[in-house]
Structures are given as C-alpha cells and as structure tokens.
Amino acid sequence: MAYVNFYYELDVYKLSRQLAKDVYRISKNFPKEEKFSLIDQIRRSSRSVGAQIAESWAKRRYINHLISKLTDSDAEQYETQHWIEVAFDCELVSDQKRDLIVKSCEVINLKLNAMMSKADLFCTFGKR
C-alpha cells in the first residue's frame, strides 16, 4: 500500500468520483417525471460514496470513526446499485450501462472492505 497524504489520492476515492460522473451522465437521459424521484436518488447515493470517504479521512484519528464512515460509503454504493437496477427494470438504461455502474460499485466495495480490514494503517492517533 502506497502512503497517501490526502483522501483525494486514494484510488477508491478516485473511483467514487468516476462513479458519480457516470451516474450523472446516464441519468441525464431519464424522463423528466423522474427528476424528483429516481434521478435525485441515484445521483445523491452515487455522490455520497465519495463524500463518505472524504469524511472518513477527517475522522481517521479513531479507528471506529473511520470504519463507521467507510461503512456508510459502502452502504451508499449498494444503494446506487439498487437504483441502477430499478432504472434497468424500468427500461431506462441498457444492460451495458447497468453493468458499468454495477461493476464500478463492486470494485469500490472491494477497496472499501480492504481499507476497513487495514483501518489501523490509516489512523493517525499516536502516529508521527
């Protein structure tokens, strides 16, 4: 694991930003009647993945706080997967677009779980 100084250097954070961008682009084509339901929900959850990672970085002084926020980020990627499946069921996205989002979420999930399993390496309490 390469040492990083800021949350935005983390691969998982970079992937979360790409996920939010992909979801935004895909949801631009959803019907206008979905603006206050499906569009808002999927965009909010996809954007929250990275936001929770950033918050976890700020709370890394204590291992339980770090893990809690990383868990929240993981929950948001699962919510994003749910909403893209709903969009697919409603025939608003193709197999390829759904697969793109689901695969991105799966990679994020793996990286978040790896971070949680090594949370002590990210915590700053007692270091330096």
Per-domain boundaries in the chain: 7-122
Q: Is the pLDDT of residue 127 over 90?
A: no
Could you say which of 3.40.50.2300, 3.90.1150.10, 1.20.1440.60, 1.10.8.60 is the CATH number of the domain covering 7-122? Answer: 1.20.1440.60
Provide the pLDDT for residue 124.
72
| pTM, full prediction | 0.93
pLDDT band per the 50, 70, 90 thresholds, residue 4: confident
The pLDDT tens digits for 82-123 are 999 999 999 999 999 999 999 999 999 999 999 999 999 988
Q: Is the pLDDT of residue 30 over 90?
A: yes
Contacts by 57-62, CB closer than 8 A, 24 or more apart: 57/6, 57/7, 57/10, 57/122, 58/7, 60/122, 60/123, 60/124, 61/123, 61/124, 61/125, 62/123, 62/125
